Structure 1
Amino acid sequence: MKRAFASSLALLFLLSFAIPAQADTNEKRTWQDETVYFMMVDRFNNLDSTNDQGVNVKDPRAYFGGDLKGITAKLDYIQSMGFTAIRLTPIFQTEPGDYQGKKVTDFYKVDPRFGTLSDLKTLVKEAHKRHMKVILDFVTNHTSSRHPWVNDPAKKDWYHEKWEISDWNNPRQIETGWLNGLPDLAQENPEVKRYLIDAAKWWIKETDIDGYYLDDARYVPKSFWQGFANEVKAVKKDFYLLGGIDSNDPRYIADYEKDGIDGFLDYPFYNEASKVLSNVNQSLAPLYRVWKNNVSYYDHPYLLGTFLDNDRTVRFTRLALENKQNPITRMKLSLAYLFSTPGVPIVYYGTEIVLDGGKAPDNHRLMNFRTDDEVVNYIKKLGELRGQLPSLRRGDFTLLYEKKGMAVFKRTYKGETAVIAINNTNKTQKVHLTNAQLAPGKELRGLLSGDLVRSSKNGYNLISDRETAEIYVLAKKTGLNIPFIAALIAVYVLFGLFLYYAKKRAKRSR
């Protein structure tokens, strides 16, 4: 604990002296500046045992007891890693046994197994105190087969006729078929549309949440989304709509942008990242091509949610293990890329402890807060850098070098230049960057591992250890960094004095 305190102070001093003064961190915060921590409510933290109905942590398909109070209790933990927003799996009342919250039986109630409306309001209020935003999952495509509407003759036309989707390239089938056997809502029915929009607006007014994740968005008619987006965004300024469309075609996904959905889970990014970053000696060029496609097809590519895994995919850790790779090494390298490249990073709970898991429900394992903190501390560094450097959130994105897994990228924003070096190979690599690629006569200050690269007559020579990443800022050349050295000495002197007086006080007490 004491070492962590000293290290944190040292990191703050390092950042304050390493980052050039022209970096502007006072601009109005937008959604592209956020970093999201995504939790499955039932699997995260069980604080309130009074709502433990059907809990059995030995059964992967049963409830594990996680609740809203448990999340509130861990907000400081989440914030300490640099996350500025949280996203929760659905919290509406669902049928018994549905720990994922997707089989809704009441759109206006919190599921009692997760807590109460008051618990949700407290969670949002406490998050806002910490300047963190809250995104809820809002289910619009279907209901539970146990929803009262299903057997109500007056609501017969609220659902599409029962049939399973057979042609996944047929828009009509996708929008009207029953997904996973769940009753499919007829959003083209004005009453259904009105009900869903009113419910969505009610939760915003009642709890002051900041965004919705719209799961299975492509299974709902596009005509619905425009009205939904317009009315929901009228309730709260800067309200964020994040769509979930499980397609690898950016043109297909981007078509929904014109209907008012702000950003989307970037499945093309995920599909490449899960292959490229989970194994060594893989070229990063496919990931850069994903970004170039995003710029071509989206009006707001910086609002796309980038991720390494989620509740529907095999855990990234499992992919690394299947490739016979060290999952901690792979995770750190991958997170460096995720946090420093364009998009809104969305990190699935358990990533920070390198949680393993295969297909669902194995990828919904219980969170463990008593594990090694190596990756936790690495995320803290990345979160700090992303917050300090606007270029990592808003800058353009240029590939300077790529060869068989060794890649160097540049991001610039309002006079600030960041350089990201990713060595995804099993050997130390040397890269030469020319004066045409980077302004001459300066130096690159490494902020993850403290590397320093001074320019020569012909440019910059970077040396990168195997399977590591470094984030640099381009700055004026310096000699010895006297202020930093003095500050660092001061930190450890003060810490030593603190320990001395603490021991002295303890002796007096005895």
Structure 2
Amino acid sequence: MNKIISLPFINRSFLKKTTLFLFFMSLTLNAQIDRIEPPFWYAGMKNPELQILFYGKDIAQYQVSVSNGIKITNVKRTENPNYIFVTIDTKKVSSTDLLFTFKNNNKEAFTQKYSLKKRRENSAQRKSFDSSDMMYLLMPDRFANGNRNNDSGEITTEKYNRELPGGRHGGDIEGIIKNLDYISSLGATTIWSTPLCEDNDAAFSYHTYGQSDVYKIDPRYGTNEDYVRLASEMHKKDMKLVMDYVTNHWGIEHWMIKDLPTREWINQFENYTQTNHKRTVVHDINASKIDTETCLKGWFVPSMPDLNLSNPLALKYLIQNAIWWIEYANLDGLRVDTYNYSDPKGIAKWTKSITDEYPRFNIVGEITMRDQAQLSYWQKDSPIGKIQNFNSSLPTVMDFILTDALQSIFNEDEGTWERGMMRVYDNFANDFLYPNVNNLLIFAENHDTKRINQIYGNDIRKYKMAMAILATVRGIPQLYYGSEIGMAGDQNLGDADIRKDFPGGWEGDENNAFIKEGRTPGQNEYFDYTSKLFNWRKTKSAIHFGKMTHYIPENNVYAYFRYNNSDTVMVLMNNSNETRTINTHRFKENIKDFKTGKDVVSELTFDITNEIIIEPKSVLILELKK
């Protein structure tokens, strides 16, 4: 791509096809209207102002009025005559059908029905995920194919091709629903699925981060109703659903990119400009304007146009789209992709608008900073952000510093001042920088990182130590699908290798890892440890919200305690290649008058009054008893 100043206007045949999905909403579009977004709304929202996008050929020429005594507070037209943005005040309106009238020269031209629906009871007070939860991250295309009939979509370009590592493999929402019991059996309480909205790119669309319609589930995954059913089935099992949301960019095939409402809807340069990825420019008082502009306005890749959150129309559109999905699908949380690539003020307004509407709602942002102060800057009420009068309103950030440590330390057999378990100790030593350490998403890997089982050569001892840390330190642990059965993958071969199909998710798979009988002995060893550990964690408030005391590692052995007024857990981790005898007198301030500790995995009891012998490359998680 060379120049992107004037993207092409209407592709009518494409739009006609993609509007067919609106039938499920009981919304009949007038012949002069191709799109209405949001397609419907909800009465009784805290913010009563609703911005409705009407799209159709030359629709801006019409004057608009609405029934039921509703007040139109703003009508916005842009340089593109095919759009009109109408803002109404819904403050005193209950659920009802409204009728919009479009006139030209005071003559009635056509009308359009619009629905305000009733919200679920106590919708605004929904409880989100927190540090008592364990989150299971999956990529739906690679998890399980529950419905072979939707493997290829009629209006989607890329078709099913499981032989192609980076192709569409057919996993879908039905596959997730059919395997909820498996996920729950791991001790997981929450599912974060990578995006499910339509991505109509011609190739490598399986990750679905280049979305082409943000009000529609990709037909290769299922339907909007299937997504609602997924949330419903999860709630029956006391599980929570987190949507992966993208505020920074859309896909080049998005219907609105093909006919921009306004040039300012996306960020554009005279020639194609890619982001420099240097997000430190946001808080760097010495940063140049060109570096800052390139970072925040440059495109992620040529196929992902960069959304302009400083544009009020685009920002309002994205706020309402997120709230619509929360209400419609009854969501329990959001994970926001490339959170700090967007305009800082814009993304902060987006976040605050959602958390104002849902005070108990959690949003986790992908902030790939490798410095605690820089990471803290992006968490809600950060003292670091306050220095620059900035508050992101973002409740949860992702602890990539801990991830980096977990992807290296277990190959560092000799502990030094900067290697081995000292890396983990030093990370927690900086927890004072965070306004809420419990609201950190902690993980050993995800869909963008190296696989830990690959890094550690499927040495299950090292896997167990990594999981033990995730299960016992502060924050919200996240497990990446397949790790619990030993799945590996070499990122040097491409991202598709770290995003392989889950064995047993497809008819004819020889290895069905979803059931005990179908797993190999090695897979069961991984699974059994993971399941026992995280099911135990579900019961431990001292882990969820308790305090932590840790001790400087010695000889690559790290000891820490998690505790509250009623419970104390001691974690002892030997990352060396030698058996260690640990004198427990050093830990007297936490051991107090406890006499024994029962390991939560082996169920063996240890005398903790004098010495503990711990095997090489192993961990003990001890519930202390008097």
- Shorter-normalised TM range: 0.7 to 0.9
Deviation at 1:299, TM superposition (A): 0.5
Q: How many residues align?
A: 441
1:445 deviates by 2.0
Please, which moves more after superposition, 441-450 or 342-351? 441-450
Please point out which of 146, 159, 163 is paired with 1:47: 146
Matches for 1:140-179 after TM superposition, within 5 Å: 140-152=247-259, 154-161=261-268, 162-166=272-276, 168=278, 169=281, 170-179=291-300
Match of 2:133 in 1: 34
Counterpart amino acid of residue 342 in structure 1: R
CA deviation after TM superposition for structure 1 residue 180, in Å: 1.6
In the alignment, the residues of structure 1 paired with residue 427 and residue 551 of structure 2 have an alpha-carbon distance, to the nearest angstrom, of 16
In structure 2, the residue matched to 1:382 is 533
Distance 1:86 1:428 in 2: 38
| C-alpha distance in structure 2 between counterparts of 1:329 and 1:141, whole Å | 39
Aligned to 1:252: 374
Greater C-alpha radius of gyration: 2
Distance (whole Å) between structure 2 residues aligned to residue 30 and residue 112 of structure 1: 28
Q: Please name the residue that 2:395 is paired with.
A: 262
Could you tell me which residue of structure 2 aligns to residue 363 of structure 1?
A: 498
Residue aligned with 2:408, SS = helix
How far the C-alpha of 1:452 sits from its partner, in A, is 2.0
Letter in 1 for 2:407: S
Shift of 1:68: 0.5
2:212 is paired with a residue whose SS is strand
Amino acid at match of 1:264: V
Show structure 2 runs of 5+ residues with no match.
1-126, 153-158, 282-290, 380-390, 504-512
Q: Distance in 2 between matches of 1:110 and 1:176?
A: 27
Alignment match of 1:373 (pick from 524, 530, 540): 524
How far is 1:437 from its partner? 4.2
Cα 1:167–1:356, aligned 2, differ >3 Å: closer, same or farther? closer
Aligned to 2:555: 404
Deviation at 1:150, TM superposition (A): 2.4
> How many Å apart are 1:302 and its aligned residue?
1.1
Whether 1:202 and 2:285 are equivalent positions in the alignment is no
Give runs of aligned pairs for residues 418-437 of structure 1, distance below 5 A.
418-434=569-585, 435-437=588-590
> Cα RMSD between the aligned structures?
1.8
CA deviation profile, 1:353-395 (whole Å, cap 9, x unmatched)? 1111122121110011243211111111111221222212222
Give, in whole Å, the separation in 1 of the partners of 2:571 and 2:242. 30
SS of aligned partner of 1:277: helix
- Between structures 1 and 2, the one with greater strand share: 2
- SS across alignment from 2:536: helix
1:446 aligns with 2:567: no
**CA contact 1:38–1:86 (8 Å) conserved in 2:** yes
Cα displacement string for residues 336-367 of structure 1 (whole angstroms, at most 9, x for unaligned residues): 11111111110000111111112212111001
Aligned mate of 2:234, from 117, 127, 150: 127
2:460 to 328, 350, 354: 328
Residue in 2 that maps onto 1:417: 568
**What is the identity, as a one-letter code, of the residue corresponding to 2:606?**
V
Superimposed CA distance per residue, residues 125-168 of structure 1 (whole angstroms, 9 cap, x where no aligned partner) = 11111111111100111111122222325432201114122472
Unaligned runs of 5+ in 1: 1-27, 477-510
**Which amino acid is 2:333 matched to?**
G
Shift of 1:175: 1.1
How far off its partner does 1:286 sit? Answer: 1.1
Q: Quick check: 1:222–1:256 contact (8 Å CA) kept in 2? A: no
d(CA) in 1 for partners of 2:141, 2:343? 30
User: Structure 1 residues 167, 29: closer, same or farther in 2, change over 3 A?
Assistant: closer
- Letter paired with 1:178: W
Is the 1:205–1:235 Cα contact (8 Å) retained in structure 2?
no
Q: C-alpha separation between the residues in 1 aligned to 2:196 and 2:578?
A: 47
Give yes or no for the alignment of 1:59 onto 2:167.
no
Identity %: 26
What is the alpha-carbon distance in structure 1 between the residues aligned to residue 575 and residue 444 of structure 2? 16
Q: Matches of 1:137 and 1:310 in 2, distance apart?
A: 13
Q: Larger deviation: 234-243 or 208-217?
A: 234-243
- SS at the partner of 2:610? strand
CA gap 1:82/1:178 in 2 versus in 1, 3 angstroms: same
Partner of 1:311: 447
- SS at 1:398's partner residue? strand
Say if 1:141 and 1:127 are closer, same or farther in 2 by CA, change over 3 A. same
How far apart in 2 are the matches of 1:62 and 1:312?
A: 17
Of the structure 1 ranges 329-338 and 128-137, higher mean CA displacement relative to structure 2 is found in: 329-338
Mapped contact 1:401–1:409 kept (Cα < 8 A): no
Amino acid at match of 1:440: D
Q: How does 1:279-290 map to 2 (within 5 A)?
A: 280-282=413-415, 283-290=420-427
**Corresponding residue for residue 70 of structure 1:** 175
Q: Distance in 1 between matches of 2:147 and 2:411?
A: 37
For the residues of structure 2 that align with 1:49 and 1:143, how far apart are their CA atoms? 28
Higher relative contact order (CA 8 A, sep 6+): 1
What is the TM-score of this pair, normalised by structure 1?
0.83
Alpha carbons 1:278, 1:316 under 8 Å: kept: no
The residue that corresponds to 1:349 in the other structure is 481
